[in-house]
């Protein structure tokens, strides 16, 4: 055993185990329904966020919008780092320890401390960078927004651990809706770029609206900052998710850097944003699967099988619709000046598919603590994705970059799949994979042919396929939806804070029945 393995083993041994609780399989967690719901909500968040950007582009002056766009890009990076550092480690603690327990309160305290400390650092860095580009007022607004973005991630992790995915989705939607409303106020009051950036701060009020039990678990316990294993786990998860997030967005950044200001580069960026649709699906599946896989007593094979089945259905439909979209349809949501780049959409959709596979597999490997396989896979992914972009640029500039991005991302996804295969063996996907691949290929071919023959026919088939998958995952079709898995929960009374139904212990039910009979 080498030194790194000894360090990992020592850190694992220092972690408190889940408290011993009498459990019974009393709840079904519908992975498909929650994954689909979160994917749709993430898409809605993207649409509303895009509307905010479009509003500012049209209503702000050129100088103000340039400053706002730069600030929004900086805050986007802050959001990526914040989402990687805080929610998932906290969701694990919440999932395995009951409400009011000492370890849960320690975990909440640690996540809040990390959020505040990282938020202060982010505020100092982003404020300093913005000050070099804009006015002190705008720099102060960016610093405040960076701090708040970090702070509100602790409630998000708590909601994930409690499996309150509906509340989580509504919270994220509420965040961008508040930002949109505040953006309208900025336009009316003529507050300029600084006021527009404050919209990020206003939006962050929504994630703070969580069940009161979160605040009951919140305690002042600075000693948790001295526990090395917490820092080790947080750094492991944060480093992996930051790498995945950077890979997902690197094509947009690199093409803008290499071909800054050209219509081709702007068209690539606009289409690449749309083509990331499969990544929204991956985010939904990852949010559901991570806390479940960290929960004691859960059947890992069932969770993995249900997660991959749900992810596969959603991601194939999303990829098929984006990749086969006829120019007449895709041109409706893409500005006229970028229509010359519509031919890149199938390649960019393929890259979105590869990034989605990377995100799901990386998150699941983290949940199963297969850190080494995950790190090796992402190291290979960095080489493949960056190499694909560089070779594509050298061969055919922007168009070549789209092809290189697709080849690099898909290959990276395949490499990580091979590395993860031994860990995921309990899912028993081999028997169903062949039939699923045939159906997926048939759907793509049918949509491609329909797009070539008649765009309206393509629109009808695309709508039917999307609605059918979502309806199936919500159990609304006659065919049985078997994506539910049993999760063992604590026996006892119903929790007022979580609203989960709990069942009485068998011996209590028996004693009560004897009393009624007598």
CA 191, CA 282: separation in Å to the nearest integer? 37
**First and final C-alpha spacing in the chain:** 64
- Two tokens, residue 304: 């993995």
Q: Which of 477, 403, 470 is nearest to 33 (CA)?
A: 470
Sort strands 484-490 and 23-30 into parallel, antiparallel or unpaired: antiparallel
CA 517, CA 245: separation in Å to the nearest integer? 61
Residues 238-283 have pLDDT tens digits of 788 888 888 887 887 788 777 766 778 778 877 887 788 788 777 7
pTM (2 d.p.): 0.74
- Two tokens, residue 114: 């990390």
Q: How far is CA 454 from CA 342, 343, 461, in A?
A: 17, 18, 11
Partners of 30 in the β-ladder: 484
Give the 3-state secondary structure percentages of the chain, helix then strand then coil, rounded to 5: 80, 5, 15
- How distant is the alpha carbon of residue 518 from its chain centre? 55
CA 74, CA 348: separation in Å to the nearest integer? 24
CA 115, CA 151: separation in Å to the nearest integer? 5
Read out DSSP for 56-84?
HHHHS-HHHHHHHHHHHHHHHHHHHHHHH
Residue 24, helix vs strand vs coil: strand
DSSP 500: -
The full length of the chain comes to 518
Q: How far is CA 148 from CA 129, 152, 234, 235, in A?
A: 17, 6, 20, 21
From the CB of residue 293, how many other CB atoms can be counted at a distance below 10 Å? 21
Please list the pLDDT of the chain residue by residue as tens digits (518 residues): 444 444 444 444 445 554 443 333 333 455 656 666 676 777 677 777 777 777 776 777 767 776 777 777 778 778 877 877 778 778 878 877 887 788 888 888 888 888 888 889 889 988 888 887 778 888 888 899 999 988 888 888 888 888 787 888 888 888 888 888 888 888 777 777 778 888 888 888 888 888 888 888 888 888 888 878 788 877 888 788 888 888 887 887 788 777 766 778 778 877 887 788 788 777 777 777 887 787 777 777 878 887 888 888 888 888 999 989 888 777 777 777 778 888 888 999 999 999 999 989 998 998 888 888 898 999 999 999 999 999 999 998 888 999 999 999 999 999 999 998 888 877 666 667 777 888 888 989 999 999 888 888 988 998 888 888 777 666 666 555 444 444 444 433 333 333 344 444 434 444 343 344 33
CA 271, CA 341: separation in Å to the nearest integer? 8
Q: Which of 173, 160, 284, 145 is nearest to 214 (CA)?
A: 160
DSSP 23: E
- Return the C-alpha torsion angle 240, 244, 249, 254, nearest 10: 80
CA 153, CA 220: separation in Å to the nearest integer? 18
Residues 377-416 have pLDDT tens digits of 999 999 999 999 999 999 988 889 999 999 999 999 999 9
Please work out, in degrees rounded to the nearest 5, the angle formed at the alpha carbon of residue 178 by the alpha carbons of 176 and 181. Answer: 110
């Amino acid at each position: 055993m080498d030194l790194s393995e000894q360090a990992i083993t020592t850190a694992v041994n220092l972690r408190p185990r889940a408290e011993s609780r009498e459990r019974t399989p009393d709840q079904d967690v519908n992975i498909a329904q929650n994954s689909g719901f979160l994917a749709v909500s993430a898409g809605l968040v993207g649409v509303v966020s895009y509307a905010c950007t479009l509003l500012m582009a049209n209503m702000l002056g050129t100088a103000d919008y340039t400053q706002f766009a730069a600030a929004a890009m900086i805050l986007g990076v802050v959001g990526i780092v914040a989402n990687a550092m805080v929610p998932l480690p906290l969701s694990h603690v919440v999932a395995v320890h009951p409400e009011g327990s000492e370890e849960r309160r320690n975990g909440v305290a640690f996540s809040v401390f990390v959020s505040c400390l990282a938020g202060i650092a982010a505020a100092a860095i982003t404020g300093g960078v913005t000050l070099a580009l804009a006015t002190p007022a705008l720099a102060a607004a960016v610093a405040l927004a960076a701090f708040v973005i970090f702070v509100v991630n602790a409630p998000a992790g708590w909601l994930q651990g409690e499996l309150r995915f509906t509340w989580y989705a509504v919270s994220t939607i509420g965040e961008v809706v508040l930002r949109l409303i505040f953006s309208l106020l900025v336009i009316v009051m003529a507050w300029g770029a600084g006021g527009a950036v404050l919209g990020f701060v206003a939006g962050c009020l929504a994630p703070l609206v969580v069940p009161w039990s979160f605040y009951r678990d919140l305690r002042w316990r600075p000693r948790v900052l001295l526990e090395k294993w917490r820092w080790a786990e947080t750094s492991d998860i944060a480093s992996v998710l930051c790498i995945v997030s950077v890979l997902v967005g690197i094509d947009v950044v690199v093409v803008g850097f290499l071909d800054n200001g050209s219509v081709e580069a702007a068209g690539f960026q606009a289409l690449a944003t749309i083509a990331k649709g499969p990544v929204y699906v991956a985010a939904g599946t990852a949010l559901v699967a991570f806390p479940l896989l960290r929960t004691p007593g859960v059947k890992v094979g069932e969770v993995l099988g249900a997660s991959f089945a749900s992810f596969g259905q959603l991601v194939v439909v999303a990829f098929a619709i984006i990749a086969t979209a006829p120019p007449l349809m895709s041109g409706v949501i893409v500005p006229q000046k970028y229509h010359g780049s519509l031919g890149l959409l199938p390649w960019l959709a393929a890259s979105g598919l590869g990034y989605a596979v990377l995100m799901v597999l990386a998150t699941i490997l983290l949940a199963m603590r297969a850190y080494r396989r995950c790190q090796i896979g992402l190291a290979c992914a960095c080489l493949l994705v960056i190499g694909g972009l560089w070779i594509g640029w050298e061969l055919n500039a922007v168009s070549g970059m789209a092809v290189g991005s697709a080849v690099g991302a898909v290959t990276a996804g395949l490499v990580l799949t091979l590395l993860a295969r031994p860990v995921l063996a309990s899912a028993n996907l081999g028997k169903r994979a062949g039939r699923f691949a045939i159906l997926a290929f048939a759907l793509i071919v049918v949509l491609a042919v329909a797009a070539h023959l008649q765009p309206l026919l393509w629109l009808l088939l695309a709508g039917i396929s999307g609605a059918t998958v979502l309806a199936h995952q919500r159990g609304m079709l006659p065919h049985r939806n078997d994506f539910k898995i049993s999760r063992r929960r604590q026996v006892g009374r119903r929790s007022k804070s979580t609203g989960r139904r709990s069942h009485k212990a068998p011996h209590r039910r028996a004693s009560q029945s004897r009393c009624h009979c007598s």
